A = this chain, B = another copy of it.
Amino acid sequence: MKYTFLILFFTSILSVFGQKIDSVALKTQVSQSIKDLREFVEIPSDALNPDDIDDNIFWLKKQFEKRGFNTAELETENLPLFFATMPMEDGKPTVLLYMHFDGQSVDPSKWDQPNPYQVVLKKPSEEGYETVDFAMLDEKINYDWRLFGRATADDKGPIIMFLNAIDLLQEKGKKLAFNIKVILDGEEEKGSKPIASAVKQYKELLNADFLMISDGPMHSSGLPTLVYGCRGITTMSLTTYGPIKHQHSGHYGNFAPNPGFQLAKLLASMKDEEGRVTIPGYYDGIALSESVTEILKKVPDDDRVIAEKLQFKEAEKVGSFYQEALQYPSLNVRGLGSGWIGDQARTIVPESATAELDLRLVPETDGNRLKKLVRDHIAKQGFQILDHEPTKKERMQYNKIISIKERGVTDAFRTDLDNEYGNFLVNTLSETFGESPIQIRIMGGTVPISPFVNELQIPAFVVPLVNADNNQHSPNENLKIGQLEYGIRAFYNILSSPLK
């Protein structure tokens, strides 16, 4: 009785919001998607092993062709990419979907299951999770139970959600509102190196009206999430110099210049007490309008909860709240080293001191421009800047020497909040799930496919489909079963709702 009521209630909710999805068929589809995911995960997917990638492409080809896609392996300077497309119909807008099928490398000894490529079903228990037999699902699918295995969440789960949404659309005879192109990356976890140049080579093929990336977790609140961009990154390595070789701190303390103090004074000159970069121009070009600030404030982060979780009293003050802070580039000391610390410490004046910096970028702050600002600031502090270890001649010539190593720039990308495809996704997710999605203007982290996104020059959105606590990149990666239902519903409605 109670059960029937719930089903009726659920069905009525579905009919109110967005495309109505037959709840019984949906449940069957979720059940099917679990089977599909187990089969897909069973194919190891470590891009360090090219055979893994071939095996996955072989499987994907079969799955996509079975559903009526044309497929292709796109050769690159490294491993191939997988491409699939539905026969194109004129007059329809085209969506390009990006997902990846490779997973992080595994160390089975660190997992709570014998084989990370054999999915294990678990339910929450007092001690965390306990294993459940898959047969239990035949009785009832519990959406809080989880599927543990490498790449279940990152990022094979979303591919499975997509394929099952297609199945359901086809079963229900739904018309697709878009031409669909799918590009699947086999090296995302290893940095997606080939994709940036491949996009130039295959630009025609990949041409679309907008890009939808299904990778990464939803907001930790579990609410529908739509992401408009990701910060970029570049790094700098700064090394100051003391005496040649470590010297006895008794003989030369007070005489030989100390590279640690030099470095400390330099770093101290770059930021104020509250974490704001004081180098002129660092934040130039960033202007947050009231409407943007409103959207940032709507993200249901509780800054106190973040501080409590990370155990600090007060956050830095680059922004006045967490989402605002992410709209700015960072200047982070990710590493320091000089001589030895702890039990290894020796009584020396160290020969050098190194600070490793990472600079997270936003679209307004070009990485090369920021690095130049930092270099100019360093020069202003009286340092002679080198790109190599100083020679004896240079050491005798300059009082303060620094060598700077720079690595490349991965740009940020960010699509305007006010965009017809973005609005379409917001509306469709709202209608599908009964509440407005959380709109993340820019994520703090960097995705390796940023160059790919920027090269395409089309509006791009991340539509994350997996639970935030999925242990991405760690042992015991997992996907909540409820996310399969979420993803199938999301794809079902996005792909079949007409662009308004």
- Using CB atoms and an 8 Å cutoff, list the residues of chain A in contact with chain B: 231, 233, 235, 237, 241-244, 247-258, 260-261, 263-271, 273, 275, 306-308, 310-316, 318-319, 322, 325-326, 328, 330, 332-342, 344-350, 353-356, 358, 360, 392, 395-399, 443-446
Contact = CB atoms under 8 A, between A and B. Distances in A.
A345 B347 CA distance: 25
Contact of A237 (B244, B248, B345): B345
11 contacts: A237-B341, A254-B318, A256-B312, A257-B275, A258-B275, A265-B267, A311-B396, A334-B350, A335-B345, A337-B337, A337-B340
A242 B334 contact: no
Contacts of A328: 254
Q: How many copies does the complex hold?
A: 2
A392 B312 CA distance: 8
Given A237-B341, A267-B264, A308-B396, A335 B316 contact: no
Given A341-B354, A358-B347, A333 B258 contact: yes
A270 B249 CA distance: 18
A256 B267 CA distance: 17
Given A322-B255, A335-B340, A338-B335, A358 B249 contact: yes
B325 A255 contact: yes
The SS class assigned to the A binding surface is mixed
A313 B265 contact: no
A313 to B, nearest CB: 5
B273 A316 contact: no
Contacts of A268: 261, 264-265, 267-269
A395 B311 CA distance: 6
Contact of A348 (B254, B257, B334, B396): B334
Contacts of A347: 233, 235, 334, 358
A307 B247 CA distance: 12
B306 A396 contact: no
Nearest to A306: B255
Contacts of A335: 260, 338-341, 344-346, 350
A21 to B, nearest CB: 34
A319 B254 CA distance: 8
A310 B252 contact: yes
Contacts of A397: 313
Contact of A257 (B244, B316, B353): B316
Contacts of A330: 249, 253-254
A220 to B, nearest CB: 11
Contacts of A260: 267, 333-336, 355
A354 B242 CA distance: 19
A264 B310 contact: no
A398 B250 contact: no
A252 B307 CA distance: 10
A392 to B, nearest CB: 5
Contacts of A315: 255-257
Contacts of A251: 444-445
B325 A242 contact: no
A234 B235 CA distance: 37
Nearest to A262: B273
A261 B346 CA distance: 23
